[in-house]
Chains A and B, each alone.
Chain A
């Protein structure tokens, strides 16, 4: 068991390395000379040469790669051209709002989607089932920014139940923190609720047709127990897989949602960095997002083994 955990964790190291190298070459392949960009429109060839020297861009590519990887290992992601500060520090400042938004969205999604899916499966063919599936289609179809502005208009501007935009750190009190996160979380989670409710329904329906469910009824267990104890855990693997993929996709949604609700997180930072051609920051953000993705996949894989004793890698 433990050896499996260790092997699985070790197996992520080559993946992370490959991601880092890929990001390095991707940026080297983009057109334009970073030194020229830094020097600005009035930079003389001599200035450009000096900048190139200071950034180490005159070194051969393998040496540059070596320096880059060593820097990553030390946690040094370089200097932002645009914000003129350490990228590591920059990301550190912006991580909290994004983490907060992602977590509340995830919790909201699971709390709503899984029960909805289970109920729909159990009451298959009833109005309840059709209602959940109808909502699901709607949830898939509506873009985040449209939903975001609708929520903002109705609940913030008309009903004045929530603030229109902005973010308050959790360290300034839980109340104001959560109050400002309600609308963005709802806007972001609707599509995931739609997706996961559907998958849950399909997965539970499939399991309900299995022989061991019949065995459970033959034991004289009531429906509730059969559903919660026998069906749900067996149905969990596809659900967990989709939740994992959902979290990865969340990164894209975060960028949009943070812009709509003016939340100073990594999503906003990404938009700003791209608009400002801030290569070191873009590079660092890609790395952070990729590492998160690998980490989430690792978590999903480890969860599998907890859910299903048959799975061993």
Chain B
């Protein structure tokens, strides 16, 4: 194992400090951090947003934004050579030949107007003297190695013709084509679906073993850490608080912060819950269908069946989880139920009223019965309105007096554990987790019967996520709400859902009590999904003394 690997490290970072511009909330983006990556080793840099993990990666590549972030102390040694002192020209020569980097968003990291082949070719053309035929052979070879189907065809494809996973494979091919000693991977699987993520992680691990590459892997996901790391560095507020082997850090963390972080990771084992009740369903859908499509003059018809015969129900006091990968239709279903979009066919019952076909006027009285909490708390609050005004807007629209609505808003703020006196503040004065609490208060202000949480905790850091999840579950219980919980994250679903609906390609492929599905998945796709969850065999938070 690499823990005993005593070879000369390919990367040594010693006492590195990077200064932030004046007027930010702290002086250093990273402060006196030290770590190393040996050949054939994967070091995971893990931490929450703003902990400085990306900055430390970019300083290795010499890609810190000019004039904004400057390395002021320490050294970054790539095979003994100090990157911080290298000239611009020397840095360029090192990039992609000795150190390479892949990024989080494969959708935007490739140039949309160049073919994939050309983008890999650029690396060879710039760094080597190979002739055209030789370069083409090399590109086809590396595309084969990253297991892209039909390289002869892919070489001429444009990025938009590829899936997210395939684009990330192109990025990896580009990064590894010249056999660098160090690969820096900045959250390379965060934007990918869980099954694709599993494939990409496996690929990185295999290639890294074959080529003997040292990998610096940046992630916020302890599942991924458990899956691939040899050693782990935990970052908080620009400092490395703990650095050790995977087993040590995950099972025997020394620092309180590490312990807190790891304990916040939701378990894959479903929590024992009150059990499925026989209460009256608040929401029932029957054969709900949604077809997106456009047809027009001189244009081909394009139709997407985003939801196919979806029949689900949510009872009072119960949480139904809808899980699935991107494009599975889970958000479409949520939006149909809230009537933010009009379903193509089918019925949606809220209590006993079918709202699927109601016109705008008649729908109005039903609107307040269903409320949504959206994914991104940074964009779902109007930045120019005080949060109090955002919260009372709904109730006052339905005739509540302003004074009464404000009184209620104060109560709700207390309910979501925020200071009731901060109603006159603006959204930017709150953190992401606090904003999501405000969104919850805003939804509750309407006194809904059904609360829809559409990926409501996906954008939050793991420690904040745990708190918001707990809050949502508390509120459901206190107010006896029916909750529809949309998520791609199986760990989260395991913690808060009473029943589960697993969606794939617009269809509900498996539907039943969450405990049963987790323990004994029936459908092929569900099993695939569970098998792909990173770190599924690892029980987080069970520390050994």
Contact = CB atoms under 8 A, between A and B. Distances in A.
A212 B109 contact: yes
B337 interface: no
B95 A220 contact: yes
Contacts of B158: 309-310
Given A308-B113, A310-B158, A218 B101 contact: yes
Interface in B154-212: 158, 160, 171, 174
- Looking at A7, A217, A307, A313, the one whose CB has the most chain B CB atoms below 10 A away is A217
A219 B112 contact: no
B245 to A, nearest CB: 29
Contacts of B101: 218
Nearest to A309: B158
A221 B110 contact: no
Contacts of B108: 210-212
Contacts, number: 71
B93 interface: yes
Q: Is the interface of A mostly helix, strand, loop or mixed?
A: helix
Contacts of A211: 103, 105, 108-109
A222 B92 contact: yes
B409 interface: no
Nearest to A223: B88
A313 B61 CA distance: 40
B298 A7 contact: yes
A309 B160 CA distance: 9
Contact of A310 (B91, B97, B160): B160
A297 interface: no
Contact of B298 (A11, A212, A220, A310): A11
A212 B299 contact: no
Contacts of B298: 7, 10-11
Nearest to B161: A309
B109 A220 contact: no
B21 to A, nearest CB: 14
A262 interface: no
Contacts of A222: 92
A220 B96 CA distance: 7
Contacts of B105: 211
B94 interface: yes
B100 interface: yes
A126 to B, nearest CB: 12
Contacts of A217: 63, 95
B127 interface: yes
A216 interface: yes
**Interface size bracket, B side:** 20 to 34
Nearest to B297: A11
Contact of B103 (A215, A229, A310): A215
A160 interface: no
A308 B115 CA distance: 11
B456 to A, nearest CB: 26
Nearest to A212: B111
A205 to B, nearest CB: 14
Contacts of B111: 212, 215-216, 230, 234
Contact of A215 (B92, B110, B113): B110
Interface string A216-242: 111111100100011001100000000
Contacts of B94: 220
Interface in A1-44: 7, 10-11
A218 B96 contact: yes
Interface in B119-141: 122-123, 126-127
Contacts of A313: 299
Contacts of A307: 113
B126 A220 contact: yes
Contact of A212 (B92, B93, B112): B112
Interface string A275-313: 000000000000000000000000000000001111001
A188 to B, nearest CB: 32
Contacts of B174: 215, 219
B66 to A, nearest CB: 11
Contacts of A210: 108
A179 interface: no
Contact of B109 (A7, A214, A308): A214
A215 B94 CA distance: 14
Contacts of A215: 103, 109-111, 171, 174
Nearest to B97: A220
Contact of A219 (B123, B160, B299): B123
B103 A219 contact: no
15 contacts: A212-B110, A215-B171, A215-B174, A216-B122, A218-B101, A219-B126, A219-B174, A220-B91, A220-B96, A220-B126, A221-B126, A234-B112, A309-B112, A309-B113, A313-B299
Of all A-B residue pairs in the complex, the 10 with the closest CB atoms, nearest first, are A220-B95, A211-B108, A220-B92, A212-B111, A309-B158, A211-B109, A218-B101, A310-B160, A220-B96, A215-B109
Given A218-B96, A220-B91, 17 more contacts: A210-B108, A211-B105, A211-B108, A212-B108, A215-B103, A215-B110, A216-B111, A216-B122, A219-B122, A220-B95, A220-B96, A220-B126, A221-B122, A225-B126, A308-B113, A309-B113, A310-B112
